[in-house]
Structure 1
Amino acid sequence: MKLGIILTLFLFMNTLCAQKDKEAVALQTVRGAVVDQVTGKGLPNILVELLNYTPRIATISGEDGSFQLENVPIGYQRIRANGLNYYDIVYTELVIAGKQSVIQLKMEEEVDIEVATIQSNRGSRIRNAKMMTIDEMNVVSARPFNIEETNRFITGFGGLGKAVTNYPGLLNADDQQTYIVSRGYSPNGVQWMVEGVPIDNPNHFAAMGNTGAAFPILNNNLLASSDFVNGAFSARYGNVYAGMFDVNMRKGNNERHEFSAQINLFGAEFVAEGPFKKKGASYTLAVRGSIFGLLDQIGLSIGTSATPSYNDVNFKIDIPTKKAGHFSFFGIGGISNLDVTLDSSAADVFADENYTLNTYLGLVGFTHLKRFDNDFSLKTTLSYLIEDYDLKTDTVLLGQRVREFSVRNFRQRAGLSSILSKKFNSQFVLRGGVSGYLHFIDVKGEWNRRNELYSQAKEIQVLANAFVEARYKFSSTFSFVLGVQGMYWSLNKNSWSVEPRVALDWRIGKRHRLSLGYGWSSKIESFAIAFLVEKQNDGSYNNSNRQLGLNRSHQVVLSYDASLTRVLGIKANAYAAYSTNLGVDRFSSSFSLANHGAYDEYVSYVNLVSEGLGFNYGVEVSIEKFFSEGFYGLLSSAYQRSFYQGSDKVWRNSAFDAQHVTSLVMGKEFKIGKKKQNVIYGDFRFNMHGGLPYTPIDLDASILAGKEVLQVDKPYSERFDLYKVIDVRVGARFNHPRKRISHHFYVVLQNVADFENAYVFKYDAANEKIVTAQQFPFLPNLVYQLFF
């Protein structure tokens, strides 16, 4: 019934638009800049043209690399840039009536010694932007993504974090959070960077020490082309070993003001952009807020009886100058709160106690980019971060709420980084940088009824990084990347490293590429673990976790990429990783921090030492049909294993040993209307992975104890059933050519088959039985977007 109403609405809008614009044809402007992939300098005299369209639409880029294509038809369009001494680049862009398309085309320079040979066979020298990373130093285990791609994938609440789980080797351990498991590593090994500034967890309700949470603060609509890397990292990346989200924010339209608004069952947002002064300066701003109260009104569940509330803002101001350099000011911020009242329902994974959670996160940065000549540049970034996590839990005694536990994690961080980059010629690029972050930490957790501290720290610590890396192209087919990353964390004498990184890149023939990379990576221990304390018999506190060193990982990755046709690509990886210095119990035990990081439960172990080991290996394959002729698809599959060793020296499955992960995303759109300028479409997503291991509950012992008791002698010996979910989206885009307005309607049906996927098993003391908390049930969402 509801689906019928939605389809009727789509048809009505199409009829309305068709009646108002019987003769009008929706056309739009596509403009931007063509730049060198390494230096970012504008490239003049580049031919930019719209492919597969008659009459021909083309232009030549100006002295600063700028270009503008007029009267471009609405819909997905392929744009090619072609210039002397550079490989052609083909870029796909969704063009709509309500917004100009402003894009950046990055071109790779050909090796000088082979230019003459290459010019005679330019047809084989085309690069597809979908197969090229944004940073050319990211040779292995890296994938580019952009706003069009992340908005096309069905992500639910998770935004960018959920979008990458369509790639091989990646899964989300919790439907209600964005805990990204990369190649069997703990999600704690993941790191984010926004405009080059590291940030542990850019999400609402984010606990200090975790890397995922329920709802993103980052707004996909302000996303520029970015990279995700999940192994054998280039030397620029420090304090990471599992996966790096290297996120860039886009500039606003510097010629005209544009707006978009969106409302759905869960929230509303507004985006504005445009020029704010002459000479190319621009702004872009996005604000968003939740309206989850509407779900209660219509009887829908998001997996908890509580009603979360959040608001966030993203912005970027871009100011180019002729002599002083390029300036930008950016930021993201979010506030969120959740109040949960005791509920005995086993289906509610959050409400087994009363608690109140308030979180706040803010990041602002100021960047200056100065080019001393076309091939030598210095980029300097100042940043300030503030995080506040305030949790209070209560229990009910004699009919009254009594404070049981409270934690306040507060941190401010001031940072400065500089990166020098020099392109000596088309063969040799050298880059180096330093960064320093001053952490002002105030952490206090307390068992209130027992009057005992749980965690404690009030201090200033320093995290410093330095790197140097170089890429040398011996020919157009073979190149070599070498670098080293150094890191120092002032908390203890065990937290420093010098990490080599190396990669080889070999292009085989016209369409095939083979890469081999090795990297030694490490990450500091999370604050949630490092600052744990335990009260001793004499009243003092054991704070031995402060001595935990860096978590370290040696990684080797063999990658294969192939452009089978102009619209079909394949990627494959084989990898192995050996981890050391993982936190384990000082005394013989199966416990290891290799299994921590995917759930909200606090680990309360002290007496940890950095002596644990881990071993991961696997094979990944993905086949992608790039968008063409109204259709796209991505099939990914991986076989991956993850093992760990505790202080008892026994190797076991880790909590993230999924064994196999498979996903399929695909979509088809149909042009409708007399001028074929409106679209209806459908997207499909299927995700499946092997059930994750867990430690079983000892029911008899739990009944005797009156609380949950695990079979600690059988850690991670059992598995949840196979996880599977199907998501569907049906939508329509309507373009109003005269008024330059676009409407976008769609409905998302998450877990449309209503699969019951177990999240966790719990002991129900009231009924003396084991109950199952489920992942997300079937959840629909109706969305409307307006671009004007």
Structure 2
Amino acid sequence: MFTETVFSQTLTQTIRGTVVDKDSKQPLTGATIIALETNPLIGNISDEQGKFKLAEVPLGRYTIKCSYLGYEDVVLSNIVLTSGKEMVLTLEMQEKIIQGESVTVFSNRDRDKTNNDLISISGRNFQPEETWRYAGTRADPSRMAANYAGVVSANDTRNDIIVRGNSPSGVLWKLEGVEIPNPNHFSGQGATGGPMSMLNNNLLASSDFLTGAFPAEYGNKTAAVFDLKLRRGNNEHHEFTGMFGINGLELGAEGPFSKNHKSSYLISYRYSTFALFNLLGINFGVSGIPTYQDATFLLNFPISKKDIVSIFGIGGMSKISLLDSKRDSSDWQFVAKGEDIVYGTKMAAGGISYTHFFNTNTYSKLTLSSGTALLHVMVDTLGIDNKKSQTYDNNSTDGNATIEYFISKKFNEKNLLKTGANYSYLFFNYHEQSYRPTEHSMIDLIKNNGNTGMVQAYTHWQHRFSDKIVLNTGIHFEDFLLNGSYSIEPRIGFNYKIGERNQVSFGYGMHSQTMPLMVYFFELYDTATHAYTTSNLNLGLMKSHHLIAGYDFNFIKNFRLKTEVYYQYLYDVPIKGNDSSSYSAINMGGDYGFPNVDSLVNKGTGYNYGAEFTLEKFFSNHYYFLVTTSLFESKYTGSDLVLRDTKFNGHYVLNTLVGYEFKYGKNKNQALSLDLKYTLAGGRRYTPIDLAASQFFNNEILIDSKAWNKQLPDYWRFDVKIGFRINTKHATHSIIAVCENVFGTKNILQQTYNTGIKNILTEYQLGVFPYGAYRVEF
């Protein structure tokens, strides 16, 4: 009876928000906002603070249109209105160049247009709702990005982002405009991915993902940028979220600090699902239970019409113990290697920002932030009767404290200038040890602590020749204070809209990055003199040139075809300087840490080139699809002067996603969705193992002369997701059931030498992997 009553009700919700100038961020008074699918039409006009409210809008999917004299119309499609949360929007409008001409920002091209208007090419808007909608994403932004053109992630166990053949270590993570450490549980030093994300999709707002030729404000990375934003908490009503699924048990809250002010809070905490079951005595048949927890918050304080203060933070900790000494015979999780391994990580980052509006055309932002990442790894080798002897130990800390300031001025409807600078105080404390049989003791690989710094500055000028032609130019500067390495990097982007259906784009950028700090401070131990030497302190910046051209064609409403071709030349890449070797920093990352290598010099080179295709049907008429194809080559040269495939040269990747949403209930308040995903990618590259040498030394020995010249079979996987969305009067319930790799494809993960069986062991990726989640919002 209850269900029948709920389904028959006409449930409504509020859509409200603020209308601002896209460049100056100033509120626009008198803009008209309409929910197009309502009958009769529901609309309103923004007040003197740019605020608007559409009350009692029936639940469903809507297109919101905003119009204002002298500005291009803005249309936001696929806005899902539920009973559990108000819809709070910020509508940013672009001033027209030719006054009086009718221009509507409604083309398919703009459905994924980046928030940062200074991005000309190789940028995609990221919507958190997609991580819940698409199959196989596990509500993880990194796994969601793996669906985009140019991105490869043929690994079920980690979410590393491999872009256009580049190392994942070249990915820049930003949150609220601040660079943060690797936001993943169980991460490693120098890595940018991991098995489980700390980023909570329930708290994220519309964000940007960039794959090349970044604008001048982004620096010290060469592969990609994930510029993430947190949404502001509801500043009028208290709302709550509860969730239980693969990412943990989650509790979230948001609301105003006071009804008399517009300040708000947004906070969420998650605790490991597996650890929770373990506490309840539920056994999964494994002795190594991953435990993790994380929290994220944002506090927003509009002090006055001209001043806003925000405080934000994210943090998490994780630990797993893989103990062969306590391994049960029924444990299917890992193969006995005669080791006890304890692996733990911690990360915390946060900051406070102050935004000041000088006038209607100029504003600035000052941010103070800090981030820290800690790693603890301990390995014991088991002997007779499980007697332990320590063979490895790592207790390391990386951190930073940063001050950053930028000012943005809109001179007129054609010209915008943004200039900024930041200084990062970098500190570290490394102590890594390994057992050396010749010494019969643990030897320090690194035992060092200290600090250094990084200075970055940029200026970016945007000139709009017309509403159809836009030029972005800029210069980025960075100086690594440890050894005085610096780089001056020009950036340029160009967009030309041909009619309302076509756009061509070009972009060029010079980019550079430092290595992880522990690379510089690795200490080589001399067994003869028992002395240590540090040989990497003068290592310079690795650099890359990006050249990109793109074409975007909107052949039918809600359909688009996008293509990009690119070439990247990498130089000053760290390689071995004292012998002939295949080693190159190009191949580092995508694992649990960087190898310890001495005597590095900036003499390596490499290149990436490829073509990318995106065919997309944006969600409308109850369905969507996304097909992305990437064809690429990635090569490098080490100190042995041999041209080789890089570790990440899989040659191609194809992703196909499709979904349909069925509405049911008397007033169509409820929804059932079916989402499918198919992935096909070139197999992972690997260096073959020298079996005879490995057996002789009882340790894995690779054939360096054949580095990365072998490739595993192609990777393919098919995922299915079924979802329900049930709206009641005051709450929204969402339920999903997912099965990844539904056909149980045996994709090979890697080949390793096992000292226990003294042979090569083939390890496979996940088989059939079912999971589910439940979320309630009220």
The TM tier, using the shorter chain, reads over 0.9
Residue 393 of structure 1 aligns to a residue whose secondary structure is strand
Distance 1:657 1:128, change over 3 A: closer
Could you report, residue by residue, the CA deviation over 1:335-354 in whole angstroms, capped at 9, with x for unpaired residues? 11111112699973896631
- Alpha carbons 2:154, 2:715 under 8 Å: kept: no
Range that drifts further, 579-588 or 594-603: 594-603
Which amino acid letter does the alignment assign opposite residue 281 of structure 1? S
Q: Distance in 2 between matches of 1:323 and 1:748?
A: 46
Q: CA RMSD in A?
A: 2.0
1:12 aligned partner: none
Aligned match for 1:234, one of 210, 215, 222? 215
Which residue identity lines up with residue 512 of structure 1 in the other structure? N
Match status 1:455 vs 2:440: no
Determine the structure 2 residue equivalent to 1:396: 382
Q: How does 1:454-603 map to 2 (within 5 A)?
A: 454-493=445-484, 495-536=485-526, 537-586=528-577, 587-600=579-592, 602-603=594-595
Contact conserved, 1:229 with 1:245, CA < 8 A, in 2?
A: yes
Mapped to 1, the partners of 2:475 and 2:571 lie a distance apart of: 19
Residues 397 and 23 (structure 1 numbering): CA distance in 2 closer, same or farther, change over 3 Å? closer
Aligned to 2:202, what secondary structure does the other structure show?
A: helix
Equivalence map 1:122-271=2 (5 Å)? 122=103, 129-157=110-138, 159-264=140-245, 267-271=248-252
Q: Quick check: 1:364–1:383 contact (8 Å CA) kept in 2?
A: yes
Describe the shift of the 1:349–1:328 C-alpha distance in structure 2 as closer, same or farther (beyond 3 A): farther
Q: Distance in 1 between matches of 2:699 and 2:207?
A: 47
Paired with 1:655 and 1:305, the residues of 2 have a C-alpha distance of 32
TM-superposed deviation, 1:265: 5.1
| 2:421 paired residue among 413, 418, 434 | 434
1:155: Cα distance to partner?
Answer: 4.4
756 and 295 in structure 1: CA distance in 2 versus 1, 3 angstrom threshold: farther
Q: How far apart, CA to CA, are the structure 2 residues paired with 1:693 and 1:394?
A: 30
Q: 1:140 to 1:419 in 2, by over 3 A?
A: same
Q: Match for 2:314: what amino acid? A: I
Q: Aligned equivalents of 2:539 and 2:287: distance in 1? A: 38
Aligned mate of 1:704, from 693, 696, 700: 696
Q: Does 1:748 pair with 2:743?
A: no
Contact 1:341 1:355 in 2 (8 A): yes
1:151 CA displacement: 2.3
- Amino acid of the residue matched to residue 99 of structure 2? V
Within a 5 Å distance, the mapping from 1:678-717 to structure 2 comes to: 678-717=670-709
Output the CA distance in 2 between the equivalents of 1:63 and 1:328.
Answer: 23
Give CA deviations for 1:250-296 in whole Å, capped at 9, x if unaligned.
Answer: 10001100001011255210110010122211111111010214777
Determine if contact 1:124/1:510 at 8 Å carries over to the other structure. Answer: no
Q: Which amino acid aligns with 1:115?
A: Q
CA-to-aligned-CA distance 1:347-405 (integer Å, 9 cap, x gap)? 73896631112221111110111001111011010112222111111111333112111
Normalised to the residue count of structure 1, the TM-score between the two structures is: 0.93
Question: What is the CA distance between 1:173 and its match in structure 2?
Answer: 4.8
Aligned residues of 1:554 and 1:577 also touching (Cα < 8 A)? yes
Q: Using the alignment, how far apart are the partners of 1:265 and 1:505 within structure 2?
A: 42
The corresponding residue for 2:369 is 383
- Structure-1 separation of matches of 2:336 and 2:201: 27
Query: Which contiguous aligned blocks of 4+ residues in structure 1 show a shift greater than 6 angstroms?
Result: 294-299, 343-347, 349-352
Task: Supply the AA of the counterpart residue of 2:512.
Answer: S
Gaps of 5+ in 1: 1-15
Determine if the alignment matches structure 1 residue 722 to structure 2 residue 714.
yes
Q: State the one-letter code of the partner of 2:320.
A: L
Deviation at 1:767, TM superposition (A): 2.9
The residue number in structure 1 matching 2:315 is: 333
User: 1:485-521, CA deviations, whole angstroms, 9 ceiling, x for partnerless residues?
Assistant: 001111213x211111011111111121111111000
Given the alignment, which residue of 409, 432, 437 partners 1:422? 409
CA distance in 2, matches of 1:208, 1:124: 44
**Contact 2:109-2:560 at 8 Å conserved across structures:** no
1:9 aligns with none
1:611 equivalent in alignment to 2:592: no
The answer as to whether partners of 1:630 and 1:669 remain within 8 angstroms in 2 is: yes
Matched with 1:84 is 69
* Secondary structure, counterpart of 1:464 in structure 2: strand
Q: Note if contact 2:190-2:593 (Cα within 8 Å) is conserved in structure 1.
A: no
Contact 1:157 1:216 in 2 (8 A): no
Residue type matched to 1:147 in 2?
Answer: P
User: Which of 618, 625, 643 is the equivalent residue of 1:651?
Assistant: 643
**TM-score for the superposition, normalised by structure 2:** 0.95
* Counterpart code for 2:469: F
Aligned match of 2:748 in 747, 758, 776? Answer: 758
Report matched runs for 1:15-164 at 5 Å: 18-21=3-6, 23-91=8-76, 92-111=78-97, 114-116=98-100, 118-119=101-102, 122=103, 129-157=110-138, 159-164=140-145
2:165 and 2:685 mapped to 1: Cα distance? 12
Cα 1:352/1:486, change in 2 over 3 Å: farther
Letter of the 1:150 counterpart: T
CA distance in 2, matches of 1:640, 1:269: 40
Preserved contact between residue 683 and residue 713 of structure 2 (Cα < 8 Å): yes
2:291 maps to 1:309: yes
The secondary structure found in structure 2 opposite 1:451 is strand
In 2, the alpha carbon distance for the partners of 1:614 and 1:125 equals 41
Say if 2:348 is the partner of 1:362.
yes
**In 1: Cα distance, 2:105 partner to 2:248 partner:** 47
CA distance in 2, matches of 1:37, 1:456: 50
Separation in structure 1 between the aligned mates of residue 206 and residue 39 of structure 2, nearest angstrom = 29
* Per-residue deviation, residues 198-233 of structure 1 (Å, max 9, x unmatched): 123111122221111121112111111110011001
Distance 1:602 1:552, change over 3 A: closer
Is the CA contact (8 Å cut-off) linking 1:420 and 1:431 kept in structure 2?
A: yes
Equivalent position of 1:11 in the other structure: none
Comparing 265-274 with 460-469, greater Cα deviation is found at: 265-274
| 1:55 Cα deviation after fit | 0.9
Report the Cα offset of residue 20 of structure 1: 2.8
Deviations 1:744-764 (A, max 9, x none): 111111221211111110123
1:642 to 1:22, Cα distance in 2 relative to 1, 3 A: closer
Shift of 1:704: 3.3
Which has the higher mean CA deviation after the structures are superposed, 209-218 or 241-250? 209-218
Give the Cα–Cα distance (whole angstroms) in 2 for the partners of residues 346 and 21 of structure 1. Answer: 46
| Distance (whole Å) between structure 1 residues aligned to residue 225 and residue 759 of structure 2 | 41
2:626 corresponds, among 611, 619, 634, to: 634
After the TM superposition, which of the residue ranges 19-28 and 390-399 deviates more from structure 2? Answer: 19-28
SS class of match (1:439): strand
Change (3 A) 1:173 1:549: farther
What is the distance in 1 between the residues matched to 2:8 and 2:340? 62
After superposition, residues 290-305 of structure 1 pair within 5 angstroms as: 290-293=272-275
**Residues 41 and 351 of structure 1, relative CA distance in 2, 3 Å threshold:** farther
Identity %: 32
- Summarize the Cα distance change of 1:205–1:349 in structure 2 as closer, same or farther, 3 Å threshold: farther
Q: Residue 481 and residue 602 in structure 1: after superposition, are their counterparts in 2 closer, same or farther (change >3 A)?
A: closer
Task: Identify which range, 423-432 or 258-267, moves more after superposition.
Answer: 258-267
Classify 1:606/1:32 alpha carbon distance in 2 versus 1 (closer, same or farther; 3 Å): same
> Which amino acid in the other structure matches residue 147 of structure 2?
N
